[in-house]
Structure 1
C-alpha cells in the first residue's frame, strides 16, 4: 500500500463525530428500527479490519457495541480495555445463539472464507449486516446473500467505504454526465501482491494458546496450523481456501466506480492471460479480460474491461497516449471514452484527460458521506445504504469470476449469469462454490 493511500484511508476512517450512547430498544424482523432507538451492535472480529470498522461504527451517537466474536482472544484485548463490559465469544455461532433477541445489527470483518456463513446466519435471525469486501469467498454465496437480503428487506452495506468518498462519486458523476463521451474500454489495476508461488510448508506448528484454530478454519477443511503468519493473522489472503487474492481484495474497491458509473450487470466473457494459482495459493501478476453488455454509458456491442495486479499494468500504447509524462498511480482505473479519458487514482480525485482540453470543465462539488454511519442511519429508518447487497452482490460476483478465470489461463469462459454456469466450460462450476465442512452448514446457503 502506498504512503498516500495509507494517509487517505486513515483520514477517511476519522470522519465520524463522537457521540454518547443511549438506552436500546429492540425490534425484530423489520427493515429498520425506530429513529429514536439505539442500535445494539455486534462484531464478527475484534482486531484488524474489524477494529477499523468498529472504530467508525461506534462513533455514531446511536450505537451501542454489546459483544464480539473473536477466535483469537489476545486480539480482543484492546477492544475489551476500551469497553470493559463487552462480551467476547470465541465461537460466533454461540454469540448469535446467546445474544438472540439482544441485537439489531452486526459487522462481518473476518477473513473472506467466513463472510457468507456469518452474514447469512445473522440475516436468518433478522439482523442487519455490514459485510466487509469481498462480500463472500465464492460466487454462489454472493448470489444467495443478495437474494436473501432483498427478500427479507434487511438493511445491508458492503465495506467498500471509498464508494461514499467524493473521489469515487465524482468519477461516477463525470462519466454519467458524458464528460469523456461514451466509454469504449476501462483498465483497472492494483500494485498489491496477494499471491505466493511457493508450496505449502509441510509442517505442523504449535497453536497459540489464545487461538481457537478449529474456529479460525471454520467452513474449510481442517489442516495443521502453520505459524509465522502463514495463515493467521498475516497472509491468509494469499491462500486459496481463505482469501481471494489481489483481485478479490482490491477489485471490489477499484471496480466499484467502474461498475457504478457504467451501470454494469454481469460479465459475458472472462479470459485470464496471467499465471494460474498453484495447489494452495493465488498467483501474483494477474491480467484478466472481462466483457460486459453495452449500457447507455458505453459503446457497443460489449464493453471490454481489463484488470491488472502486482507488476502488470496497461501497455505503453494506452498510457503514453493519455497520460503523456504523468506517472501511473499504484492503484486505480483509466476510463477511455469517445472524447477523452478519465484517470481515477485509488482514493484520489479523478483527472480528465487531456488536461488542457478539460482545464475549464466544471467538476462536481460533493461532500463526504460517512459509509458506516449511512448503514446505522438506515437501520434506524433514516435513509438508505448505497452499497447494499443488491448492488454489492453482483459487483462481488464479477470480481470473484475474475479469480475463477485465473484457473483456466488463455481460455475464454462464457458466463451465463442467470444459471450461474459457464456455457462452454461446465466443469469450471467447481470453482463457483466450495461446500462447507460437515457441521458448518448454514441454512440459506445449502
Structure 2
C-alpha cells in the first residue's frame, strides 16, 4: 500500500512481482488519462530522432532519468546520494518495508513518493527509467528481475543475488532485453583496482599459479536462534521483509536491521558480503571462467546462520593470464593464508583484507583499496607500474542509461563473478568435501544433495516471472 504523508508518498524492501504489462499498446492505453511530454515521447517519439531503449521507447540522451530506490537507509541511502549526484537523475520514488527508516530520504527529497511494497511501486510508477536494488541479499533477485521484466535499467548491490540460479537468470534476462545493468562493486572503477588488473595483464609477475584472498569480517554466528517471539515494531511490514523466505516469528535484533547478513535465508555471510569486492580484481585480472571444483576446509553453518572462519579452495581452468592450473583460496574471520604465503611479503604487516598473487616471475601483494606491491622489490626497481585513471561507478550507470557509454560491471560480468562467490558459500555447507561443478548445467555432479542450494523456493505470494 502507498502511504501518504508530508507531501510525500511511501516505499519498501518487499518481495515478488505482478504481471509484466510493458508492451507499447498497454503503455499507450495507460497513458491516455495522464499524457505528458515524457509519456508522449515514450509512446509516440520518432525513431529517427532518438535511439530506442530496451522497451522500444524513444529515449533522448539529454533527458533526465526518473529513478526509484528499493531500500531507503544504510547502503541504499549511500547509493541514493551517489546516483543523485548526477544532475541527470531524479529520485521520484522509494520502497522500504520499514517506514521508520525512510525519514532521511524524505528530508533530502521532500517530493519523493514512498511505498512499503516494491510490487506496488513497480505497478504504479509508470514513468520510471531506472532503479537501484539495495535491500538484504535475499530480495536482490526477485526485485531486480521484476524491474528488468518491466524494461527498467538496474543498479543492484552486491552480491548480485543470494543464489547461483538467480545470478544466471538475471544475466540472461539483462542480455535478452538490452537492459543497462551495474552491480554495486564500486571499487571496480577505482584506480587501485584498475592498477592490479593492468599490472597482471602487463605480465609483470608472469603466469599466475595461485592466489590467496581474505577478509577479516565476521558475518556468521555459532549461536542458536533465540527461542522467543518479539512484537513487530510499528511501521515494519515483517511479512514484506521476509519476502521470498519462509514465514517465521520476528526476533528483535536477530534479523533486522543489520544481522540478516549472518542468516542463511537472508544473507550470504562474510564470503558473500566481501567476496564480490575482494575477488573482483582477481576475477578480472586473471580472466577467470567458472571453477572446476571447490572445497571448504573452514567453519560450517549451523541450522540458521553462516559459519565463521571460512577457508574455501577453488581450482580453475587455465586462462591466458594463468599457468596450466590456477588455485584460489579464500579465508575470512580469523583465518589467513599460511606462513609460506605471508612470508612472501616480507616484514610488511598483512592487511585486514586483500590478496596475494603468486606468479612465475614474482608476487603481487594487493591490500584492499591500497596500491599493489610487486615483490621481490629489487626485481621491480625499474618497472613502470601502470597507473590507470579511475571512474565514478555510479555515474557510469547514469550515463549508460542515457545512451552515453557503458557500465564496467554489467550483469554479463557480475553474474559469473557472483556465481563463483556463491559456489564458495554453498561449499561451506559440505566441509571437507570436494565438489565438482558443471557450470553449463548449473549443478554439482558428485554430491547430489548440494544441488538443493543452487536455487531456492519462493513463497507463493512472491513468485517472480523468470525465477
Partners of 1:265 and 1:41 lie apart in 2 by: 33
Partners of 2:61 and 2:461 lie apart in 1 by: 39
Q: 2:380 aligned with 1:358, yes or no?
A: yes
- Structure 2 match to 1:287: 311
Q: 1:33 to 1:333 in 2, by over 3 A?
A: farther
Tell me the CA shift for residue 356 of structure 1.
2.3
Q: 2:194 aligned with 1:172, yes or no?
A: no
- Equivalent position SS for 1:67: strand
- Structure 2 match to 1:274: 298
- Structure 1 match to 2:122: 96
What does 1:380-395 align with in structure 2 at a 5 Å threshold?
Answer: 380-395=402-417
What does 1:421-440 align with in structure 2 at a 5 Å threshold?
Answer: 421-440=443-462
1:94-114, Cα deviation, whole Å (9 max, x unpaired): 0000112x1000000000000
- Equivalent position SS for 2:461: coil
Q: 1:278 to 1:253 in 2, by over 3 A?
A: same
Partners of 1:293 and 1:252 lie apart in 2 by: 20
**One of 261, 278, 282 as aligned partner of 2:285:** 261
After TM superposition, the score normalised by the length of structure 1 is 0.92
Tell me the CA shift for residue 31 of structure 1.
9.2
1:256-289, Cα deviation, whole Å (9 max, x unpaired): 0000001011010000001210000001100000
1:202-239, Cα deviation, whole Å (9 max, x unpaired): 11111110211111110000111011x21111210000
Tell me the CA shift for residue 32 of structure 1.
8.9
Partners of 2:450 and 2:430 lie apart in 1 by: 8
1:36-86, Cα deviation, whole Å (9 max, x unpaired): 110110000000010011110000110000000011111110110111110
Partners of 2:397 and 2:382 lie apart in 1 by: 36
What does 1:335-374 align with in structure 2 at a 5 Å threshold?
Answer: 335-374=357-396
Q: 1:24 to 1:187 in 2, by over 3 A?
A: farther
- Structure 2 match to 1:70: 96
- Equivalent position SS for 1:242: coil
1:148-189, Cα deviation, whole Å (9 max, x unpaired): 001111100000000000000100000011010010100000
What does 1:51-70 align with in structure 2 at a 5 Å threshold?
Answer: 51-70=77-96
Q: Please say if residues 30 and 153 of structure 1, whose CA atoms lie closer than 8 Å, have aligned partners that are also in contact.
A: no
For these two proteins, the number of residue pairs brought into alignment is 419
- Equivalent position SS for 2:380: coil
Q: Which ranges of structure 2 fall in alignment gaps of 5 or more residues?
A: 1-36, 43-52
Partners of 2:179 and 2:393 lie apart in 1 by: 17
Q: 2:427 aligned with 1:442, yes or no?
A: no
1:90-148, Cα deviation, whole Å (9 max, x unpaired): 00000000112x10000000000000000000000000000000000000000000000
Partners of 2:188 and 2:38 lie apart in 1 by: 30
Partners of 2:161 and 2:419 lie apart in 1 by: 9
- Structure 2 match to 1:305: 328
Q: 1:316 to 1:220 in 2, by over 3 A?
A: same
What does 1:307-346 align with in structure 2 at a 5 Å threshold?
Answer: 307-320=330-343, 322-346=344-368
Query: Bigger shift: 432-441 or 110-119?
Result: 432-441
Partners of 1:235 and 1:218 lie apart in 2 by: 16
**One of 142, 160, 182 as aligned partner of 2:185:** 160
Partners of 1:143 and 1:32 lie apart in 2 by: 29
Q: 1:406 to 1:32 in 2, by over 3 A?
A: farther
- Equivalent position SS for 1:357: helix
Q: Please say if residues 33 and 379 of structure 1, whose CA atoms lie closer than 8 Å, have aligned partners that are also in contact.
A: no
Partners of 2:306 and 2:381 lie apart in 1 by: 42
Q: Which ranges of structure 1 fall in alignment gaps of 5 or more residues?
A: 1-22
- Equivalent position SS for 2:214: strand
After TM superposition, the score normalised by the length of structure 2 is 0.88
Tell me the CA shift for residue 24 of structure 1.
5.9
Tell me the CA shift for residue 351 of structure 1.
1.0
Q: Please say if residues 276 and 283 of structure 1, whose CA atoms lie closer than 8 Å, have aligned partners that are also in contact.
A: yes
- Structure 1 match to 2:152: 127
- Structure 2 match to 1:203: 228
Tell me the CA shift for residue 430 of structure 1.
0.4
Q: Please say if residues 438 and 445 of structure 2, whose CA atoms lie closer than 8 Å, have aligned partners that are also in contact.
A: yes
* CA RMSD, 1 decimal: 1.2
Partners of 2:248 and 2:382 lie apart in 1 by: 60
Quick check: which has more Rg, 1 or 2?
2
Q: 2:118 aligned with 1:109, yes or no?
A: no
Partners of 2:408 and 2:91 lie apart in 1 by: 23
